[in-house]
Amino acid sequence: MKKNMGSTDKIVRIIIAVVIAALYYTNVISGTLGLVLLVLAGVFVLTSLISFCPLYAPFGLSTCSTKDKK
């Protein structure tokens, strides 16, 4: 699996995930929307850790610099 996420993309996803988690655990967002966003935050963290976004692959997108790809 080739990397297709750059460091800026990973940082932005992790920040968004932290914000969503904070909003959920402070009950600013709740219910079904809260759970869906919490799952999305988990996906953001997971994809950031493995540096691969499955949605980028079919479209040939990559935010990774050429020297970081493996």
65 is a domain residue: no
Helix (H) or strand (E) holding 24: helix 7-25
Distance separating alpha carbons of residues 29 and 35, to the nearest angstrom: 9
**Cα–Cα distance between 50 and 35 in angstroms, integer?**
23
Give Rg (Cα) of the chain: 14
The answer to whether residue 69 is domain-embedded is no
| Residue of higher predicted confidence among 69 and 41 | 41
Its pTM stands at 0.84
Nearest to 6 by CA among 62, 59, 56: 62
Residue 33 domain flag = yes
Domain count for the chain, please give it.
Answer: 1
Q: What is the pLDDT of residues 8-58, one digit of tens each?
A: 999 999 999 999 999 999 999 999 999 999 999 999 999 999 999 888 888
